[in-house]
Amino acid sequence: MGSEFFFAALCENYSDPFFYGPKLRTYNRPIGNRQKHRNQRVQVTVHKIPESVLVVIHTAALEVLLIERADRPGFWQSVTGSLDAPDEPLALTAARELFEETGIVADGAAIALRDWHVANVYEIYPTWRHRYAPGVTLNTEHVFSVCVERDTAITLSAREHLNHLWLPYLAAADRCFSSSNAEAILQLPRHLAA
């Protein structure tokens, strides 16, 4: 069993086309008892859940991987992502986002996610508020980290990111556009010592 099998087993909906679906999803549904074979297309708006994860990827030597956002060139960050369902476990969200954005599989053995049990609450940037239900302005972000070898293969999601780079942790914190991301990187030595 390879690590991809482990990840697929971890994410029960791994192959479900709606698991990674867009904001506006289209479903087919029957339109009547007598017309079982005729379908009507129904569009449902799915808002982002204002609860997310931040995964700081680092080496044992405190080099930190940053990725550049495709929708905002010049904005560098660690792996981030929202829960896909209100009851999705945080560790599953972190593992899913880590894999989707970098291709890194947290197999629980060689590459293990570490939950910091830290939650940041911050105001959602106005630029991205349209993704959330009307009136939602705050997001709760749960912090994780993962230690990998410097030569770990990185496969970016072209839809989400343009580039990646490794930096010493202080330089990485300076490069982040998000203050909560920068603070997490600055706290990395303390969490590794614990």
Tokens coding 32: 């009547």
Residues 59 and 109 in one domain: yes
Domain boundary among 30, 45, 60: 45
**Strand locations in 128-169 (E):** 138-147, 161-168
Q: In this structure, what CATH number is given to the domain that contains residue 181?
A: 3.90.79.10
* Residue in 143, 57, 133, 131 with CA at minimum distance from that of residue 93: 143
* Res 7: pLDDT: 42
* Residues 170, 150 share a domain: yes
pTM score above 0.85: no
- Whether 167 and 85 map to the same domain: the answer is yes
Asked if 112 and 177 sit in the same domain, the reply is: yes
Alpha carbons 81 and 55: distance in angstroms, whole number: 9
Place of tokens 């009136």: 135
* 103 lies in the same domain as 22: no
* Amino acid letter for position 137: T
pLDDT computed for residue 128 by the predictor: 86
Query: What digits encode the pLDDT tens for the residues 72-81?
Result: 999 999 999 9
Q: 147 and 83 in one domain?
A: yes
Q: Which pLDDT tens digit goes with each residue over 109-162? A: 889 999 999 999 999 989 889 999 999 999 999 999 999 999 999 999 889 999
Q: Are residues 34 and 55 in the same domain?
A: no
Task: Judge if 27 and 68 occupy the same domain.
Answer: no
Phi, psi dihedral angles at 36 (to 5 degrees): -60, -30
pLDDT given at position 30: 52
62 and 118 housed in the same domain: yes
User: In terms of domains, do 142 and 125 share one?
Assistant: yes
**How many domains does the chain fold into?**
2
For the stretch 163-184, pLDDT in tens is 999 999 999 999 999 999 999 9
Confidence of residue 29 (pLDDT cuts 50, 70, 90): low
Are both 88 and 179 inside the same structural domain? yes
For 95-115, give one letter per residue: b (16+ CB within 10 A) or e. Answer: bbbbbbbbebbbbeeebebbe
Note down the domain range covering 40: 3-45
Residue 41 has pLDDT above 60, yes or no: yes
Judge if 116 and 186 occupy the same domain.
yes
